[in-house]
Amino acid sequence: MVLNRRISLFDPIGAALVTIDPREIVRDKVLRRQALIRIEPPLSIDNMEALSITESNGRTILWLASDDNFSLFQRTLLLKFELKQSAEAIPSERDS
């Protein structure tokens, strides 16, 4: 899982979580990625800097964090998301 950030003077701040296959990491190669979530206004967002993944009671939890860098223009945020598996990702009996 990779945290992508977007900060610009002309666009609103944003973040996206994507997954990549680490086996595809090769010098000078563009990685294929699958977007999981895009976070941008009007959702609470800042310069997200940290990503953690935990498990609790069989649930996969994603944590995103930012800090205010002692600035009046930034905030410290801790965002929590549950990663749910889509029905398409669950193997059926005939796939076994």
| pLDDT for the residue 92 | 41
Entry pTM: 0.70
pLDDT in tens, 51-77: 999 999 999 999 999 999 898 888 899
For 24, other C-beta atoms within 10 Å of its C-beta total 11
For 88, list phi and psi in degrees, rounded to 5: -65, -25
**Domain locations in the chain as residue ranges:** 2-85
| pLDDT for the residue 8 | 76
User: Amino acid letter at 47?
Assistant: N
| pLDDT for the residue 6 | 80
* Model confidence band, residue 78 (pLDDT cutoffs 50, 70, 90): very high
